[in-house]
Amino acid sequence: MTPTVLLLCALIACLATAYTLRGGLTFANKLTVLGMDPKGIGISILSVAAAVWLLGATFGLALIAVLVIHEFGHVAAFRVAGHSDARFRLVPLLGGYAISNHPIKTQEEQVFISLMGPAIGIAPMLLAYGLTPFAAQYYPAAISPLLTFASICGALNFFNLLPIWPLDGGKLTASITAVFHDRAPFYIFVASTALVGLVAVLSQRLFLLFIVVLGVQHLMQTGGSDGRAPHAQMSKNHAILCLGAWLFTAATLFMGGVATILRFV
């Protein structure tokens, strides 16, 4: 793919994202970020410093930027779904979560909100890759930050789409697969948690072990249930469309983040 075509694809992705989240990207309603009190700001500063110290300035700051974009994707999706009170709590490096006081009414709404956190990362990821060839000609110092940001954006958001609770992929699993079989989410959670546990042991990655602990805790708390919220169930046709969107998003992010994925797995 030529640099011009790649940049064109990136611009199309940006327009598609803006269209999908139309009405949710505006700031007509004030965006609330929880934890902006002195204590919360102090924790955030320490987290930024830890990210830079542990991962290097470029990698650490890129990771924080990706986390902010990810959480804003959830907030924008909440707003599109009519949750004008949506806000998020963010602790850089550790992650964050979007919040609304209003309950999610349907599985389609749950899928949209869960998917748009990772999916919003496709456009900036492609844009960063698309700008890299031009940076090589006009501003070589920007090459490394652009490539680092793009790869982290793909890797982190792909990871969030894995079918493990409480990741976004776990919520998608609970909403989509239960349409086809009531116990499907539970079986998938058990299998995926066991697989990640195996990878964690073989690769000796502590962050993977942490995810396994969360997955096991969820399975124990739910007593074997699938973890679905009491939403109105979607049709099988809608579930197939949602599954296709999930797989397409995951595949695109994987291709963009494969370098970082291989580095940490």
pLDDT, one tens digit per residue, over 29-45 is: 444 444 444 554 555 55
* Contact in structure between 96 and 88 (CB atoms under 8 Å): yes
Cα–Cα dist 212/20, whole Å: 33
pLDDT on residue 45: 57
Domain locations along the chain: 3-264
> Treating both helix axes as pointing N-terminal to C-terminal, what angle do 143-160 and 57-80 enclose, rounded to 10 degrees?
50
Backbone angles phi, psi at 176, to 5 degrees: -90, -50
* Higher pLDDT among residues 221 and 110, named by residue: 110
* Contact in structure between 121 and 154 (CB atoms under 8 Å): yes
* Contact in structure between 191 and 162 (CB atoms under 8 Å): no
Sign of CA dihedral 119, 120, 123, 128: negative
pLDDT band for 56, please (50, 70, 90 cuts): low
pLDDT on residue 208: 72
If DSSP codes are grouped into helix, strand and coil, which group holds residue 95?
Answer: strand
> Treating both helix axes as pointing N-terminal to C-terminal, what angle do 168-176 and 107-119 enclose, rounded to 10 degrees?
150
Sheet holding 95-99: strands in order across?
32-34, 87-91, 95-99
pLDDT band for 227, please (50, 70, 90 cuts): very low
pLDDT on residue 201: 75
pTM: 0.80
End-to-end CA distance of the chain: 28
Is 90 exceeded by the pLDDT of residue 248? Answer: yes
Cα–Cα dist 148/155, whole Å: 11
pLDDT on residue 161: 92
Phi-psi region of 229 (alpha: psi -120 to 50; beta: other; left: phi over 0): beta
